[in-house]
Amino acid sequence: MEPQTNLPAPEPNGGERKRPLGSGGPAANSSPTRDFSSIFLGLDGLRCGWSALLFVGLYYLFLFVFSVVAVSLDPALSQGEFSPGQAIVSELVPLASILVAGFVMARIEQRRLVSYNLLDSRRSRHFAGGLLAGFVTVSMLIAVLAIGSWLHFGSSDLHGFPILGYAVLWACAFLLVGLFEEGFFRCYLLSTLTRGIQFWWALATVAALCLLLETEHGVKGASGVYALALIGVIPCWLVHRFSAGSSSFWQAAWATSTAFSFFHTNNGGENAVGIFAAGLVGFVFCVSVKVTGSAWWAIGCHTAWDWAETFFYGTFDSGFAPQHHLLTSTPAGDALLSGGSDGPEGSVLVVPVLLLLALALLVLYRSKARPSANHLTDKATLQA
C-alpha cells in the first residue's frame, strides 16, 4: 500500500525538517518545552529508538506475567522438555506477549498491527514460497552433511498413524516460533527502526549488545555475535556514506540481525558457528522483507526450516534435542563440520547454503519487489 501524498515524508537527517529563519518555526520561536519534546517526538510521532525500547520493555513485562501464569497452571513447562506439546504451549507465551506489546504500541503510534511488515496482498503466495525454500534449503545442507559422513541416519523414531499426528503438532509448534521470532525482529523492530535509525545509532546498539554479552554468564557462542557485529561495520558505514536514502533499512537489518543472534546465546547446545548462522539467516530474512514487501516469506521459511530439522530429519535444532521425529540422525566427526549438538546450522557449511538462499531470493523476487507497507498509511487511516 502506497503512502498518502498529503503526509510529510521523514527527512533523512532523522525526522527533523529544516525551516528557513524567520518563518515562525522552532528556529525563530523555540521554547524549552518544545526543545525537550523533540528528544522524544519527530514529524513521524514517537522517535523510532524510543518506540523500539518501549516495545522491548513491554514485551518482557508481559512475558514475565504470562510466564508466571503459565507455569502455575502447568509446572512441567519449567523443565524445558523439547516435545511438540510443550513447545506449542511454551511458544504461545512469548507470542501472546509480543501481540499485546504490539497492540499497545500500535495504539500509541496510531497504526495497525499489520502495518509492521505484515500488510501484503500476496501473503499466501509469499508464505508458501517461504515454506518451500525453508525445506529445500535445510535438505540441501543435510544432504551435504550426509555425503561427507558428518551426519548419520538411523532407524525411524515413528511408525504408522502417529507420524501424521506428530507432523501436524510440530508444524503448529514451529509456526508459532516463526510468528513470534519474525514478529519480534522482522516485523515490529525492523519496521520501526527503518523509520529513522542511522549508522551511529545502529553501531551503538550493536556495541551495547556485545558489551552486554560480556556481563552475561553461561552464554553459548558469544564470538558468533561479535563476528556478525564486526562484519557489518564497514558495509553499513559505506551505505550510510554513499546511499543515505536507503541507509536506514540496512542499519536496522544489521542491528536486528545482531540482536537475533544475541537472542539465541542462551540456548544450551549452541556453538559460535550456530550463533553466527542465526544472525546471518536473520539478515537473509531482512532481505526477504526488502524484496517481497512483507515478513510472510520469512515466517514461512522459518517455520519449514525448524520443522525439517526437528521432525523430518530428527537433527538437533539450535542446541535442542527433539522428541517424536520421523527420521533419526546423529552428527559425526568434527563439530565444526557436523554442527555437533547445535545441529546442521552449527556447521560452517551452513554459510554458503545461506548465501545461496539470499541469491535465490534476489533472483526470484527482485524484479517484483514492492516497498513494504508504509506505517504512515495506517496512521493516516486512523486519523481520518
- Identify whether the C-beta of residue 137 lies closer than 8 Å to the C-beta of residue 305: yes
pLDDT tens digits, 146-196: 999 999 998 877 788 889 999 999 999 999 999 999 999 999 999 999 998
C-alpha grid cell, residue 187: 516485523
* Amino acid, res. 253: A
Give the model's pLDDT for residue 382: 41
Residue 6 confidence class, pLDDT cut points 50, 70, 90: very low
Of 39 and 360, the structure prediction assigns the larger pLDDT to 360
**Through-space distance between the first and last CA atoms of the chain, rounded to whole angstroms:** 16
Residue 168's Cβ-side half-sphere holds a number of Cα atoms within 13 Å equal to 4
Above 50 in pLDDT, residue 374?
no
The C-alpha atoms of residue 219 and residue 118 are separated, in whole angstroms, by 32
Above 70 in pLDDT, residue 22?
no
pLDDT tens digits, 34-80: 566 677 777 777 888 899 999 999 999 999 999 999 888 877 766 66
C-alpha grid cell, residue 156: 525411524
- Identify whether the C-beta of residue 193 lies closer than 8 Å to the C-beta of residue 259: no
Give the model's pLDDT for residue 244: 67
Give the model's pLDDT for residue 117: 97
> What 3-state DSSP class applies to 155?
coil
Residue 377 confidence class, pLDDT cut points 50, 70, 90: very low
- Across 123-205, the runs of DSSP E, i.e. the strands, are 151-154
Residue 367 confidence class, pLDDT cut points 50, 70, 90: low
- Identify whether the C-beta of residue 280 lies closer than 8 Å to the C-beta of residue 257: yes
Instruction: Label residue 97 exposed, middle or buried (CB < 10 Å: 0-12, 13-18, 19+).
Output: buried
The C-alpha atoms of residue 20 and residue 118 are separated, in whole angstroms, by 38
Report which DSSP code applies to 267. S
pLDDT tens digits, 310-357: 999 999 888 788 888 899 999 999 999 999 989 999 999 999 999 999
* Amino acid, res. 237: W
The C-alpha atoms of residue 252 and residue 195 are separated, in whole angstroms, by 9
Q: Directed axis angle between helix 272-292 and helix 350-365, to 10°?
A: 0
Above 90 in pLDDT, residue 256?
yes
* Amino acid, res. 252: A
Closest to 346 in 3D by CA, of 308, 313, 323, 320:
320
Give the model's pLDDT for residue 79: 65
pLDDT tens digits, 191-240: 999 998 999 999 999 999 999 998 887 777 899 999 999 999 999 999 99
Instruction: Label residue 235 exposed, middle or buried (CB < 10 Å: 0-12, 13-18, 19+).
Output: exposed
Alpha carbon of 320 to those of 51, 65, 70, 271, 346: distances in Å? 33, 25, 21, 12, 12
Q: In this predicted structure, which of 8-22, 311-325, 362-376 has the lowest mean pLDDT?
A: 8-22
Provide long-range contacts, Cβ within 8 A and 24+ apart, for 18-23: none
Handedness of CA 279, 354, 242, 26 (dihedral sign): negative
Give the model's pLDDT for residue 78: 66
The C-alpha atoms of residue 117 and residue 325 are separated, in whole angstroms, by 33
- Identify whether the C-beta of residue 276 lies closer than 8 Å to the C-beta of residue 336: no
Predicted TM-score (pTM) of this structure:
0.85
Alpha carbon of 381 to those of 73, 102, 110, 126, 316: distances in Å? 41, 18, 9, 26, 46
For residue 222, the Cα-to-chain-centroid distance in whole angstroms is 18
Give the model's pLDDT for residue 34: 56
What mean pLDDT do residues 122-135 have? 97
